[in-house]
A = this chain, B = another copy of it.
Amino acid sequence: MSRAAYSHGLDKRPANFQPLTPLSFLARAAQVFPGHVAVIHGRQRMDYAALYARARQLASALARHGIGKGDTVSALLANTPPMIECHYGVPMLGAVLNTINTRLDAATVAFILDHAEARVLIVDSEFAELAREALAKAKVKPVLISYDDPEFPGLGAPLEGIDYEALLAEGDADFAWAMPDDEWDAIALNYTSGTTGNPKGVVYSHRGAYLMCFANSLAAELGQHPVYLWTLPMFHCNGWCFPWTLSAVAGTHVCLRWVRAGEIFRVIATEKVTHLCGAPIVMATLLNAPDADKQPLPHRVRFVTAAAPPPEAVLASMGEAGFEVVHVYGLTEVYGPAVVNAWHAAWDGLPAAERASLKSRQGVRYPGLEDLAVLDPASMKPVPADGATLGEVMFRGNLVMKGYFKNQAATEEAFAGGWFHSGDLGVMHADGYIQLKDRSKDIIISGGENISSIEVEDALYKHPAVKLVAVVARPDARWGEHPCAFVELKDGASVTAEALAAFAAEHLARYKLPRTILFEELPKTSTGKIQKFALRERAKNLT
C-alpha cells in the first residue's frame, strides 16, 4: 500500500475535527474561570459566567425573533458591555455581526443597513438620532433594539424598539448554541470607510477570527489574565478581534465610551490596565493631556498601535511616559493587524533615535499569517529587499478576509494573482521588515523626483511644538507638485512657518522641504485618521 496508506481510514470526524471558532474560547473561559472579572464598565462588574450567560440569552432571544444562520445583525454601539455580548451572542446563531462606525453620516449608515440586509439593529441612545435618520433613508426594516446605558444616562432619547435588557430577559441563559456548520462560515461583516465610492463589506470567517485570538495573544504578549482597556473602537475591524481574543486568555475588558485622557489615566491606575490599543492619535491625546489629567502608570503598560506609521518623536515620548509601544499594521481586510514590528532585544541598546526609527517600521507577518510580501503589482515579483524600491504590500493566508460581501468584482480585483492587494505602498528592508511608504496618491512628485509625504511628516514631527502633521502634494507650476504641510500645534506652543521649514531642513533634502506650511486643526475621519483626501483637495485649491 505504501504511500497511499496515510489516506485510508484516517478521516475527519467529530471526535478529531471541530470547526475553529472563537465561541469555543468563551465557553472555556466561563467553565475554567467563571468568577474572573470579564467586563468592567463604570461601576458594573461582570464575571465570565455572567458574560457567557448573557451572550447565550442574547442568542436565545434573537432566535425567538427569527434570527438564524446567515442573517445580519447590525449594531451602532459604543465600547460597552452589549457590544462585547454581541460578538458572541450573534455568531452563536450562525448569524453575522455587522458593527457600524458610529461616526458615519446617516446616508452611509443607511447604505450599510441596506447592503448588509440588516435583520436586526441594536442602537446605543447616544446614536439613536443617527439611527433614526438612517432608518428613514434605508429600505430595510430591521427589528430595533435600544440600549440605554445606565452608566451614562441622558445621552439621547432611546431608539423606539425593544429595550436591550428586556430582550435579554426573554432569552435562556442555558441556550444550547451550536458550533458553526463550517469554520469558513461568516462571523462578521465590516464596512470599510472608503474615501471614494460606496463602502465595501469585508467578511470575516470563524476560522480567521479564531486564529487571530492566538495570534494576538502572542503578538501583543498578553499572558494570562491581561486587563485590556477599550481605547480602540470595537466597530473598527471588530476591535482587531480583541473582543474574542480576551476570552482565549481569560482577560478583563475595561469598557470606555469616549477616548479622553483623564479617564484613560484614571482607569489604567484603578483597574491596573496592562494593555490597550489605538491609533497614534490616542497616543497624542495621552501625551498632550494637561498635567491635571495625567497619573503615573502603576506599571509598564503595553500600547499596541497601528493605522499610521507612528512619528519617531511620539514613540520616544511614549517610552518616557512608561508605555511600551508595540507597533502593528493591518487593514480591515486582514482582521485588523496582521503585521507586527517584532522587536529584537539587541535593539534596546541602540540610541533613542535609531530605536524609534526601527520601531516605526511596520515589520513582519503576524504569527498566523502565512505570507507577507512587497510585490511589483505588474509582475507580481518581489521588489529587491533594499529598503528603497517601492512595491505594493500584499498578504496571503488565514488572516485575510473571505472577500467583499455581494461584490464579486471587488473581491476578484483584491485577490488578483493569489494575493490580497493592500493598496499600500512600501519597501522591503534587508532584514525582511517591511516599511510603508505612501499610498500611491500620497507620493509627491516634484521635479520628477518622488517624495514620501511620510518622510516629510516625520521630520516635522520632531519639532517640539508640533502635535499633528499632514503633508500632501500641492500643484506647482514649475515643479509639477511640491510638499504642502498642514500643521496642528500643541496647546500653547507656537512656531513660525519659516522656523519650522528651517528646522525641517536639518533632516530633509532640500527638494523635499515643504514649500507651503499652514497652521490649523486637521480634519479627521470617524476612526481618527487624518483626512488627507480633504487636505489634498484644499492644497489643490490654494491660491
Which A residues are closer than 8 A to B by beta carbons?
Answer: 1-18, 20, 24-25, 28, 31-33, 68-71, 96, 117, 179, 184-186, 203, 208, 214, 217-218, 221, 223-225, 248-249, 342, 344-345, 364-365, 367, 370-371, 395-398, 400-403, 405-408, 411, 414-415, 418-420, 432
Closest 8 CB pairs of A and B: A3-B70, A214-B214, A16-B400, A10-B402, A18-B370, A9-B408, A6-B186, A10-B403
Cβ contact within 8 Å between B364 and A28: yes
A224-B221 Cα distance, complex, nearest whole Å: 8
Cβ contact within 8 Å between A70 and B2: yes
Which of B5, B406, B407, B420 is in CB contact (< 8 Å) with A70? Answer: B5
Q: How far is the CB of A219 from chain B (nearest CB, A)?
A: 10
Cβ contact within 8 Å between A432 and B32: yes
Cβ contact within 8 Å between A6 and B415: no
B residues within 8 A CB of A402?
10-11, 16
Residue of B nearest to A363 (CB): B32
Which of A16, A68, A342 neighbours the largest number of chain B CB atoms within 10 Å of its CB?
A16
Cβ contact within 8 Å between B365 and A28: yes
User: Given A342-B33, A364-B28, are A398 and B214 also a contact pair (CB < 8 Å)?
Assistant: no
B residues within 8 A CB of A221?
223-224
B residues within 8 A CB of A179?
370
20 contacts between A and B (CB under 8 A): A2-B71, A3-B71, A4-B70, A5-B117, A7-B70, A9-B411, A10-B403, A11-B403, A14-B396, A16-B396, A17-B184, A18-B396, A28-B364, A28-B367, A31-B364, A32-B432, A33-B342, A179-B370, A214-B214, A248-B367
B residues within 8 A CB of A20?
398
B residues within 8 A CB of A208?
16
B residues within 8 A CB of A33?
342, 344
B residues within 8 A CB of A14?
396, 418-419
Would you call the interface of chain A mostly helix, strand, loop, or mixed?
loop
B residues within 8 A CB of A405?
5-6, 10
B residues within 8 A CB of A395?
15
Which of B6, B13, B411 is in CB contact (< 8 Å) with A10? Answer: B411
Residue of B nearest to A396 (CB): B15
User: Given A17-B398, A96-B6, A342-B32, are A214 and B218 also a contact pair (CB < 8 Å)?
Assistant: yes
Cβ contact within 8 Å between B403 and A117: no
B residues within 8 A CB of A2?
70-71, 117
A68-B4 Cα distance, complex, nearest whole Å: 12
Residue of B nearest to A15 (CB): B415
B residues within 8 A CB of A342?
32-33
B residues within 8 A CB of A96?
6
A218-B8 Cα distance, complex, nearest whole Å: 33
A142-B176 Cα distance, complex, nearest whole Å: 53
B residues within 8 A CB of A12?
184
B residues within 8 A CB of A367?
25, 28, 214, 248
Which of B16, B18, B400 is in CB contact (< 8 Å) with A15? Answer: B400
A396-B420 Cα distance, complex, nearest whole Å: 34
Residue of B nearest to A366 (CB): B28
Q: How far is the CB of A55 from chain B (nearest CB, A)?
A: 17
Cβ contact within 8 Å between A6 and B214: no
A50-B342 Cα distance, complex, nearest whole Å: 20
Cβ contact within 8 Å between A419 and B7: no
Given contacts A15-B395, A218-B249, could you give 7 more A-B pairs where the C-beta distance is less than 8 Å? A5-B117, A8-B406, A10-B203, A10-B405, A10-B411, A15-B420, A31-B432
Cβ contact within 8 Å between B398 and A15: no
Q: How far is the CB of A42 from chain B (nearest CB, A)?
A: 24
Q: How far is the CB of A407 from chain B (nearest CB, A)?
A: 8
Cβ contact within 8 Å between A32 and B203: no
Q: How far is the CB of A416 from chain B (nearest CB, A)?
A: 9
Which of B17, B24, B406 is in CB contact (< 8 Å) with A9? Answer: B406
Residue of B nearest to A207 (CB): B17
B residues within 8 A CB of A406?
1, 5, 8-9
Which of A20, A214, A418 neighbours the largest number of chain B CB atoms within 10 Å of its CB?
A214
User: Given A28-B367, A218-B214, A367-B248, are A15 and B418 also a contact pair (CB < 8 Å)?
Assistant: yes
Which of B70, B185, B203, B398 is in CB contact (< 8 Å) with A18? Answer: B398
Cβ contact within 8 Å between B16 and A415: yes
A400-B442 Cα distance, complex, nearest whole Å: 50
